[in-house]
Structure 1
Amino acid sequence: MGGMKEGVIPVIQDLNDFDVHSGNLLERIVFNNRLPFVIGILLMTLVLGYMAITRLELRPSFEKMIPQGHPYIQNFLENRKSLRGLGNSVRVVVESTQGDIFDPDYLDALKQVHDELFLTQGVDRAWMKSLWAPGVRWTEVTEEGFQGGPVMPDSYDGSPASIEQLRQNIARAGIVGSLVANDFKSTMLVIPLLDQAAAGAKGVDYHQFSRTLEDKFRLRFEYAGDTAAQASGEEGQGKIKVRVIGFAKLVGDLIDGLIRVMMFFGLAVVTAFFIILAYTRCLRSSLLVIFCSLLAVVWQLGIVAWLGYAIDPYSILVPFLIFAIGVSHATQKMNGIMQDIGRGTHRQVAARNTFRRLFLAGVTALLADAVGFAVLLLIDIPVIQDLAITASIGVAMLIFTSLLLMPVALSYVGVGAKAAERALRIDSNAAAHRGFGRIWDFLDRFTERRWALTAVVVAGLMGVAGFVVSLQLQIGDLDAGAPELRADSRYNRDNAYITGHYALSSDLFAVMVKTPAEGCLNYQTLVQADRLAWALQQHPNVQTTVSLTNAVRQITAGTYEGNPKFLSLQRNQDVLNYAAQQASVNTPELFNTDCSVMPVIAYLKDHKAQTLAEVSAIAERFVADNSEPDRQFLLAAGTAGIEAATNSVVHSANRTMLFYVYLAVTVFCLITFRSWRATLVAVLPLVLTSVLCEALMVAMGIGVKVATLPVIALGVGIGVDYALYLLSVQLQYQREGLSLSAAYKKAVAFTGRVVALVGITLAAGVITWAWSPIKFQADMGILLTFMFIWNMLGALILIPALSYFFLRERRVEPEVL
């Protein structure tokens, strides 16, 4: 497990002098059957590579993004069929750049957009709204009673008379600010999308849907075939501009950005290769480190495809994490073998010796990583649970590639003679306090009281300051628009336009009122729904509320010749029944067929975490005080209601997840070190990194949400590898009788410099993500860079400093736990 005292394992230059039957059972099985093992690995790679290429799908899902066990979501799913339009939807705005909407050419273009979208797979056609939708109607009161009809005149022919009729119908329908912009320069299409059950086994293909919007509408009208302008993300110069917001478009844009994401992944791989090559000066071993790490990624993707899982934009981080962990372990193996070969040991013996020294520490670190990732299964959000499964699979694959294949492959090819000599020369220079030895001498000072105390005090102060700042960490989105994309992205520019030109936002928070059949027309039920709407309207970030009570009031006043005195809820049931009959024609979305479910919808100014939390609190208080067996108020539907539920789950899962991650890491450290003191030395630097990472999220304005929740837990998995390798070697030397200073210096020379190398390599690879067009990936790049660097510094500085206080004894014996 640990490093070996010089002389314990002699330098064996001739393989005939080595007992091939020595070592544990796994070592004998693998190294005594190297060729079958390598052939088996290659065959498995071919099979899983074929699976990854032919079966792996990029399949994001709206349903997987929501916490299906949360009461809000359960209420929404149970009543989903009665609440069409309050779930997953897209809003398309068609803007006229050279006039207003009362132009025949504009209206013809709008009709083409409407008809194309109406026939697009996955659209819930019955609830689609636009000027050309027959369900969008106007109503007015005349001397003869109610009159009404579709907003778009049946006789529309593009003539000035029919356009004037359309103008009047828009005014009578009261849709200015909702479907028609306040400045009459654009109109909106509201397109509800079918859920997976209704759309088919695979659900809606969001990428294809997004491509349809781009190719059939933007390219045709806005860009007029100018694909270069479209690719640049700038707005087109045509007479018509098409603006789109909604989950499907957001995911489509994220998928489009994944091509660049893969470029950054490739750049990270190349960067890692050249940094390792610059350190080792050995092409073959550097290539093997990259090859074995990428092999684990191929295996992971193949198994994920074989099990029927798909990847999505939110789990694209996982392959890089597997690669990063693989590089960490493979480099440790390469370094150990290179040092032994440099001393004259036969390459196969060097491989077996390194396997003996580092396999247990490596497999323990990987198991800790796997359990840490598996803890994410406790979070009731399917996309995170899928991430946990795929990450755990990838970590398990590293046992075969980085821990077994890497030393076996090096036992065949060895390392370059010059590289081995250079490794030995580095050790000699370090022993003579030259070159890297100066760095090791500096780090060795932290085993002394003054330096150790200074390091611990500074770390403690940073931890306290970081904890104070981290208390301001918020859950959910902190900015308007889509925080997954950059503020100047086309999606967020479209969102800003729609917010600025329409009175009603796309952030809907709906409370469902559930009654027996025909119960929603009960007078007391309508009064209570009206009181709920009034309570929600008191929040400054609620634009307005809409419910059946609004329609009943207007229709009741209409039956009395529009007299405003009757703009009220009448106790007469016949009046209420008549109002419902009229409302079912003009506003059927306000209640279901048997009048047992009706939503009270609040339009919010934004979907920031604080807004959602405060609106939810108002609704929850009302629900608690007014729900009865025959009249239940259920939370919540609408885009904002679903996001509020997601924020609630993320909030409760954030600390719970970290607790279980650290519990798993602690247990594995106890098993490995057999010392609670050594466990503290390993875990405390990780805790500091987690606290400082949360403080950094506050400073960067990043909230904790589905895309960011797993990052801190994943960072702990990388950090524990550093601690396990360095501390296990240090403890082994201490148990052989060396002082803390001598043991730490040897541990640094054997594994510590690779810890530094890996930390710098991985940080250099992910920092390039800061230039990604996908903002949450750029944020992840900065956070991961920070955690890689701080975990490295924690291992190299805090482990010796904490060891001074916990592990100073000359001979550290295992404790009975």
Structure 2
Amino acid sequence: MEHKIAYLAVRYRRSFTAAVWVVSALCLFAVSRLDITTVQTDFLPKGHPYTALQSEFAESFGGANKIALALEVSDDRDIFSLPTLEKIHDITRALEQTAGVDSLTITSLATSKMARISASAEGIRSEALMWPDIPTDEAGARALKDTVIQTPLAYGRYVSGDLKSALITADLYENFSDYDVLFAQLSALQAQVEDANHVFRMVGEPIIYGYVASLLNETILIVLGVLGSIAILLYLMVGTVRAVVFPLLSGFLSCIWTLGICAAFGINLDPLLLPVIILLFARGVSHSLQMVLRFDEEVSKDGVTIPEGATRTLAELFRPGMLGIATDGLCAAAVGLSSIPFLQKLALIAVIWVSTIAISASVLTPVFLAGYRNVDTRPNWIRQRITAALAALGHLAMSPGRYVVVGLALTLFAISSFSAMNLQIGDSSAGSPIFREDSRFNEDLAAINSKFGGTDTLMVVARGDGPDAQKDPEVLETVHALQRYMEMQPEIVRSFSVADMMVSINRLLHDDNPHFQELADDRFVNGELMYQLRANSQPGQLESVIDSMFENSAVQFVMNSREGDVIRTALARFNEFALAHDIKTASLEIGGGVIGMLAAVNEVILDDQIESIGVALLILMLVCTMVYRSSHAGLFFLAPVALSNTVTFGYMAYQGIGMTVNTVPVAAIGIGLGVDYAIYIADRVKEEWEAGSTVKKAMIDAMASAGQGVLITATVLIVSVLLWQFSSLRFQAEMGQLMGLWMVVSASSALLLTPAMIYIFKPRFVFTERNNEIFEGSLLIN
């Protein structure tokens, strides 16, 4: 079948090529409408209890799509000067006009909900601290300062303890995703507000995505640099224009076709996926280069014409090429088993991309090569030395050194496995793993955390069994006890609930007597207190902690760390408390807020990573077993994959790179990609053996031909991905490291471990029976 396909493709190459250009033109037109953006909801697992809880109560208690801004004075003064107070007022008013911001959720010193509640003979009174107007003189500013210090809602929460920073928070609409517009507007506001004495800081998930979008041009420059370095290195190492043009053309065609299909079906491209896109591009380059090098080998033989050489190339490499592409695509599909839409989209893009490589690289490259009239196949001096080095590796595989190679591989596997046991699930640092530690975002986050303890919240909902359930003393007492218990964890800096407000209002109604700073033990009294709260609070002041029917309430825990272990500790402590406290009229449920969403992602990643790796390995075994008609083939090719996996995970643990939704793709997709090199080597040994070569000649010839493609492609791509180290995004730099490491291990396994294992075990799916020939002293695998 392979020979028939090759013959037809080369024979009708003009018609085939014309059809390709037509399809490419249509896809290129569609690419112009591709949406390159980040959608926050894509990172949240569907159907998870935490995300379901957040979605259910987003309108009641606020969503997870939050931003936090801070104005900090850098001189010796505090914020209670007229110029600074005016800036706080201007920032608050500007935020009301900012894209995507729900103006009803804005909280700052300059909003009506930032009020002081007091009691007098006339009753309870709620007075806004700095709304609608700001103080007009220094005396008014001093009076405001004294009032803020006496207002628990403001002091320490929205005005820092040292009085040098003011916090402004707001929610975005849940479906808002134009983060580039939001970031541009806030950046313009930052430029307007900052001066020699004021620093404007901004954090939050939407700010992260806005930063990433703002760096798109830098990312594109790095991509162009990667492509340029691939072209230069290919030419230097191979020495022919065709070894540069056709592999790159294959990559570009797959890119156009895939992105065109995505645009046609409304699938957005997340900028965070670009390193993975380059990895997929590299696979097309790798498969195409194998075709070019094999073509050079075929046409260098006496009496072989260029069309014949192209036909032979396609026919002989059809099986290993398609096997590699099949494992790439099917293993990538395993990532789509996740309930996280981001990973599902990634899997879909990867499957489409890898599928197109079957045409763009495996078929089109020989078809294009068949159009040459004259071909100079003389290798340059670099390629000659590569051939000599590969021959030496072939001899190493047949010498006693092969046992050293296998022993070193096993040792590396053991060490990496031990290190991988410490791999962190979730973020491994307090800051954002997307950015470098010295980035402006992480500096702002650290500064705000130091001033206010933290901005990320974990929400617990006390779900009542009906209206007025929150008036039950047992509910309020349990909520209050939960706060005290959870705050014992150092990373939870404070909490806020309706129970806190009830304690304060109870004290106020008793002439501010500290003895009454406690919860009432009567449902009727609680009802009266809640009525007083509702009647005297400012609009939006209670919405984050209790609903209008007094049926459900929320506890907002503020945390200063996003580390996976910290989040898991908080969840474990909550579960321990909930098991020990059974409430008759309500139930405690955890999962909302930014921390709750991260907890959901971490739990899904842990389960999905195990599942996707298991499915991918099973797919690899089944495909190899079917193609080679040997169950041992599947087991044989697990070795390089297992080594690549464990070394990469071990490196991640050593470097403190957490397993997050951003790093999962490289690890999971790499299972399929990591076996390609080994397949090319093993299949070439099999081909030479079936052509009548001795074991020694088959090994040497395979290393000299297929090994060249492996070594050249891996070297070019490893050097190229190092350019990601220049990215301002830590995430992209780490992805470059992981991709480079994966390629090093995969290529090393293919060139050292695979030949050694072939010669030691001499598996029958490689060395088929030939006149009952037996290999003395070998471990023959049937």
Percent sequence identity over matched residues?
Answer: 23
Q: Per the alignment, in what secondary structure is the counterpart of residue 551 of structure 1?
A: helix
Q: Which moved more, 1:618-627 or 1:709-718?
A: 618-627
Looking at structure 2, the residues matched to 162 and 499 of structure 1 have their Cα atoms a distance apart, in angstroms, of 29
Q: Does residue 76 in structure 1 map to residue 54 in structure 2?
A: yes
Q: Is the 8 A contact 1:722 1:755 kept in 2?
A: yes
Q: Tell me how far 1:108 sits from its aligned partner.
A: 2.0
Q: Tell me how far 1:449 sits from its aligned partner.
A: 5.8
**1:807 corresponds to which residue?**
762
Q: Is the 8 A contact 1:251 1:313 kept in 2?
A: no
Which of 106, 123, 128 aligns to 1:150? It is 128
Q: Does residue 372 in structure 1 map to residue 363 in structure 2?
A: no
Q: Is the 8 A contact 1:669 1:724 kept in 2?
A: no
Q: Is the 8 A contact 1:686 1:716 kept in 2?
A: yes
Looking at structure 2, the residues matched to 674 and 48 of structure 1 have their Cα atoms a distance apart, in angstroms, of 38
Looking at structure 2, the residues matched to 336 and 449 of structure 1 have their Cα atoms a distance apart, in angstroms, of 27
Q: Does residue 126 in structure 1 map to residue 104 in structure 2?
A: yes
Give the letter for the 1:570 counterpart. A
Give the letter for the 1:704 counterpart. M
Q: Tell me how far 1:436 sits from its aligned partner.
A: 4.0
Q: Tell me how far 1:153 sits from its aligned partner.
A: 4.7
Looking at structure 2, the residues matched to 436 and 214 of structure 1 have their Cα atoms a distance apart, in angstroms, of 52
Give the letter for the 1:527 counterpart. E
TM-score (norm 2): 0.94
Q: How does 1:244-323 map to 2 (within 5 A)?
A: 244-323=202-281
**2:482 corresponds to which residue?**
532
Looking at structure 1, the residues matched to 442 and 475 of structure 2 have their Cα atoms a distance apart, in angstroms, of 40
Q: Is the 8 A contact 1:510 1:641 kept in 2?
A: yes
Q: Is the 8 A contact 2:111 2:131 kept in 1?
A: no
Q: How does 1:276-425 map to 2 (within 5 A)?
A: 276-344=234-302, 345-413=304-372, 416-417=375-376, 420-422=377-379
Q: Is the 8 A contact 2:620 2:634 kept in 1?
A: no
Q: Tell me how far 1:322 sits from its aligned partner.
A: 2.0
Q: Tell me how far 1:154 sits from its aligned partner.
A: 4.5
Q: Tell me how far 1:258 sits from its aligned partner.
A: 2.5
**1:115 corresponds to which residue?**
93
Which of 615, 638, 647 aligns to 1:692? It is 647
Q: Could you say what the CA RMSD is over the residues aligned between the two structures, in angstroms?
A: 2.2
Change (3 A) 1:520 1:29: farther
Looking at structure 2, the residues matched to 619 and 25 of structure 1 have their Cα atoms a distance apart, in angstroms, of 66
**1:730 corresponds to which residue?**
685
**1:233 corresponds to which residue?**
none
**1:135 corresponds to which residue?**
113
Q: Does residue 90 in structure 1 map to residue 67 in structure 2?
A: yes
Looking at structure 2, the residues matched to 253 and 544 of structure 1 have their Cα atoms a distance apart, in angstroms, of 29
Q: Tell me how far 1:372 sits from its aligned partner.
A: 1.0
Q: Per the alignment, in what secondary structure is the counterpart of residue 403 of structure 1?
A: coil
Looking at structure 1, the residues matched to 382 and 126 of structure 2 have their Cα atoms a distance apart, in angstroms, of 89
Q: Does residue 555 in structure 1 map to residue 505 in structure 2?
A: yes
Q: Tell me how far 1:649 sits from its aligned partner.
A: 1.0
Q: Tell me how far 1:342 sits from its aligned partner.
A: 2.1
Looking at structure 1, the residues matched to 387 and 408 of structure 2 have their Cα atoms a distance apart, in angstroms, of 25
Looking at structure 2, the residues matched to 172 and 147 of structure 1 have their Cα atoms a distance apart, in angstroms, of 15
Looking at structure 2, the residues matched to 155 and 189 of structure 1 have their Cα atoms a distance apart, in angstroms, of 17
Looking at structure 2, the residues matched to 76 and 627 of structure 1 have their Cα atoms a distance apart, in angstroms, of 23
Change (3 A) 1:758 1:553: same
**1:564 corresponds to which residue?**
514
**1:207 corresponds to which residue?**
180
**1:543 corresponds to which residue?**
493
Q: Which moved more, 1:639-648 or 1:736-745?
A: 736-745
Q: How does 1:157-168 map to 2 (within 5 A)?
A: 158-168=136-146
Looking at structure 2, the residues matched to 661 and 106 of structure 1 have their Cα atoms a distance apart, in angstroms, of 58
Looking at structure 2, the residues matched to 369 and 770 of structure 1 have their Cα atoms a distance apart, in angstroms, of 26
**1:229 corresponds to which residue?**
none
Which of 507, 513, 518 aligns to 2:462? It is 513
Looking at structure 1, the residues matched to 237 and 399 of structure 2 have their Cα atoms a distance apart, in angstroms, of 33
Q: Tell me how far 1:130 sits from its aligned partner.
A: 0.9
User: What are structure 2's unaligned runs of at least 5 residues?
Assistant: 771-779
Looking at structure 2, the residues matched to 454 and 46 of structure 1 have their Cα atoms a distance apart, in angstroms, of 53
Q: Tell me how far 1:263 sits from its aligned partner.
A: 1.6
Looking at structure 2, the residues matched to 769 and 415 of structure 1 have their Cα atoms a distance apart, in angstroms, of 39
Q: Tell me how far 1:718 sits from its aligned partner.
A: 2.3
Q: Is the 8 A contact 2:89 2:110 kept in 1?
A: yes
Q: Tell me how far 1:592 sits from its aligned partner.
A: 1.1
Change (3 A) 1:415 1:629: farther
Looking at structure 2, the residues matched to 537 and 305 of structure 1 have their Cα atoms a distance apart, in angstroms, of 48
Q: Per the alignment, in what secondary structure is the counterpart of residue 201 of structure 2?
A: strand
Q: Deviations over 1:248-277 (max 9, x none)?
A: 111111122232222221111111111211
Give the letter for the 1:411 counterpart. A
Give the letter for the 2:100 counterpart. G
Q: Does residue 218 in structure 1 map to residue 168 in structure 2?
A: no
Q: Is the 8 A contact 2:102 2:173 kept in 1?
A: yes
Change (3 A) 1:155 1:409: closer
Q: Per the alignment, in what secondary structure is the counterpart of residue 316 of structure 1?
A: helix
Q: Tell me how far 1:246 sits from its aligned partner.
A: 0.4
Q: Which moved more, 1:537-546 or 1:689-698?
A: 537-546
Looking at structure 2, the residues matched to 623 and 758 of structure 1 have their Cα atoms a distance apart, in angstroms, of 56
Give the letter for the 1:717 counterpart. G
**1:61 corresponds to which residue?**
39
Looking at structure 2, the residues matched to 759 and 332 of structure 1 have their Cα atoms a distance apart, in angstroms, of 12
User: What are structure 1's unaligned runs of at least 5 residues?
Assistant: 1-21, 197-202, 223-236, 430-434
**1:225 corresponds to which residue?**
none
Looking at structure 2, the residues matched to 749 and 574 of structure 1 have their Cα atoms a distance apart, in angstroms, of 88
**1:580 corresponds to which residue?**
530
Q: Deviations over 1:415-451 (max 9, x none)?
A: 642xx1338x999x7xxxxx44532332123433622
Q: Deviations over 1:515-562 (max 9, x none)?
A: 111111211111121222222122222212221111111111111111
Looking at structure 2, the residues matched to 221 and 265 of structure 1 have their Cα atoms a distance apart, in angstroms, of 35
**1:5 corresponds to which residue?**
none
Looking at structure 2, the residues matched to 62 and 158 of structure 1 have their Cα atoms a distance apart, in angstroms, of 42
Q: Is the 8 A contact 1:517 1:594 kept in 2?
A: yes
Q: How does 1:691-730 map to 2 (within 5 A)?
A: 691-730=646-685
Q: Deviations over 1:205-241 (max 9, x none)?
A: 01110111112x122222xxxxxxxxxxxxxx53332
Q: How does 1:362-511 map to 2 (within 5 A)?
A: 362-413=321-372, 416-417=375-376, 420-422=377-379, 435-448=385-398, 450-502=400-452, 504-511=453-460
Looking at structure 2, the residues matched to 714 and 153 of structure 1 have their Cα atoms a distance apart, in angstroms, of 54
Give the letter for the 1:544 counterpart. R
Change (3 A) 1:717 1:629: farther
**2:777 corresponds to which residue?**
none
Q: Is the 8 A contact 1:295 1:401 kept in 2?
A: yes
Q: Is the 8 A contact 1:715 1:788 kept in 2?
A: no
Q: Is the 8 A contact 1:368 1:668 kept in 2?
A: yes
Looking at structure 1, the residues matched to 129 and 121 of structure 2 have their Cα atoms a distance apart, in angstroms, of 21
Which of 554, 572, 587 aligns to 1:632? It is 587
Q: Deviations over 1:158-182 (max 9, x none)?
A: 2234323422332233212211122
Give the letter for the 1:176 counterpart. Y
Q: Is the 8 A contact 1:545 1:603 kept in 2?
A: yes
Q: Per the alignment, in what secondary structure is the counterpart of residue 635 of structure 1?
A: strand
Q: Deviations over 1:767-789 (max 9, x none)?
A: 11122110011011111111111
Looking at structure 2, the residues matched to 816 and 742 of structure 1 have their Cα atoms a distance apart, in angstroms, of 20
Number of residue pairs matched? Answer: 763
Looking at structure 2, the residues matched to 415 and 151 of structure 1 have their Cα atoms a distance apart, in angstroms, of 84
Change (3 A) 1:355 1:376: same
Q: Which moved more, 1:626-635 or 1:238-247?
A: 626-635
